Structure 1
Amino acid sequence: MKLLLTYFFWFGLSVIAVQEGVRAEECLFEKMDDGDASFCSGGLEVFYPELGDVGCSYIPKCNQYWKRISKEWKSPHVRYQKADKKKQYVLLMVDPDAPSRADPKFCYWRHWLVTNIRGADLKRGKVRGHVLSDYIPPTPPPQSGYHRYQFQIYEQPTHEVISLSTEEKASPGSWKMEEFVDHFRLGAPVASTQFLTKSYKG
């Protein structure tokens, strides 16, 4: 009887070990290749629940992460530890692959736009400021493949009042991001990163 109990004990442990191994294999984060990875610079970090910093990586399909990032989780914590406490910053989040990377006719799709973010808050991962576009979670259309979701941080020029036009407010799609950046003299981003995910319905 004792021998039989010992057998089942070790058998149970081996099953758990195999299950844990499968789970770990399914949830491995895949990093971007050199082309997409080159967009990530300056040390910008983007944190979602359970995933940690998703910068320069593919969101794994396991544990319904594709669905949860689209339907459940609120805006991520965005941290830029090199931020100057005396300055203010602008955060952009866009999808350049709308409706698909092969046919991005609606790029850039604006997912989040916040101005007047204090450097001290940005260093702690707190995006507090003037929200020009509320956070819209990643929602790639079904069968459209992977979409890049890009985050960019700009130093906000002193005393610059940044706003969206009536036309820009009407729709976040086909946003002329470069014209916006040029108009308000934001210059080049001081930090940027991105992640890729797919539709959970696809």
Structure 2
Amino acid sequence: MQNGCSHSGGATAAEAKWMKLLVTCLFLIGLSVIVVQKAVASEECIFEKLDGEDAKFCRGDLEVLYPELGDVGCMYIPRCNQYRKRISKEWNSPNVRYQKADRNKHYVLIMVDPDAPSRANPKYRYWRHWLVTNIRGTDLKTGKVQGHVLTDYIRPTPPSHSGYHRYQFQIYEQLEYEAISLSTEEEASSGSWDMESFVDQFQLGAPVASTHFLTEHY
């Protein structure tokens, strides 16, 4: 009887020791998870502006406004908060605001990616992402892109391992009574679009304002 009691007591002590060790391990794991979560939550968002030749494209105080980010004109989309993924997968068309627009005029908005499939090998330049005509100056001053949509908004989706892509927005004054359209061939594909010929065909001239942002695959 005494031996049985001693054996039971030894087993209980061993179990208690292992239980204490298990609790300690679980505590340390939980602590590590909390530390990682806090590190992710406190990840610093660095909003880096473009410079050099890329910065020269930004003219006329054109604003491109996405949720949470605000105006992304002339900047890199940061990786933090999954912004690059959200701009590619979640958010719809941005507000595009040109406060210098003439209330009595109409405008054309063109959004393209000149770096398809990559900036080093842009064999599909230009990739048309958005094309809207007949935008009233009053709407453009407030950021509302309302008009005749020739190409629905296509989210920026740079391929993996293709580096940064430029997503360019350009505003043109539209000639009064000018009917603008895409050819059958242009409607069939957004890639390898001859934007310069389109601009010349409808006498749009030089853009009154332009900007772009850079992002890469998330």
Counterpart residue number, 1:164: 182
Match of 1:120 among 113, 118, 138: 138
Deviations 1:43-78 (A, max 9, x none): 100000110000000000011111100000000000
Q: How far has the Cα of 1:155 moved from its partner?
A: 0.2
**Matched residue type, 1:174:** S
1:65 equivalenced with 2:83 (yes/no)? yes
Secondary structure of residue in 1 paired with 2:200: helix
CA RMSD of aligned residues (A): 1.4
Alignment partner for residue 176 of structure 1, among 194, 198, 211? 194
Counterparts of 2:143 and 2:207, CA distance in 1: 17
* Partner-residue secondary structure (3-state), 2:198: helix
> Which residue in the other structure is 1:37 paired with?
55
Report the structure, 1 or 2, having the larger helix content. 2
Identity %: 75
Deviations 1:92-111 (A, max 9, x none): 00000000000000000000
In 1, Cα distance between the equivalents of 2:163 and 2:79? 13
CA distance in 2 between counterparts of 1:21 and 1:177 reads 42
TM-score, scaled relative to structure 1: 0.88
Q: Deviations over 1:159-190 (max 9, x none)?
A: 10000000000000000000000000000000
1:191 aligned onto 2:209: yes
Specify every segment of 5 or more residues in structure 1 that has no aligned partner in the other structure, as ranges.
Answer: 1-14
The answer as to 2:75 corresponding to 1:53 is no
Max Rg structure: 2
* Alpha-carbon offset, residue 28 of structure 1: 1.1
CA distance in 2, matches of 1:101, 1:32: 16
SS in 1 for 2:185: helix
Report how far residue 127 of structure 1 moved. 0.2
Shift of 1:35: 1.0
- 1:34 is displaced (CA, Å) by 1.8
Instruction: Tell me, yes or no, if structure 1 residue 129 matches structure 2 residue 129.
Output: no
Question: Is structure 2 residue 117 aligned with structure 1 residue 99?
Answer: yes
The equivalent residue for 1:74 is: 92
Displacement of 1:22: 4.5
Tell me the distance in 2 between the aligned counterparts of 1:168 and 1:19. 48
Distance 2:40 2:86 in 1: 22
Tell me how far 1:21 sits from its aligned partner.
9.5
Q: Distance in 2 between matches of 1:103 and 1:180?
A: 23
The one-letter amino acid of 1:80's match is: Y
For residue 165 of structure 2, what is the aligned residue in structure 1? Answer: 147
TM-score under structure 2 length normalisation = 0.81
4+ residue runs over 6 A deviation: none
| Residues matched between the structures, number | 182
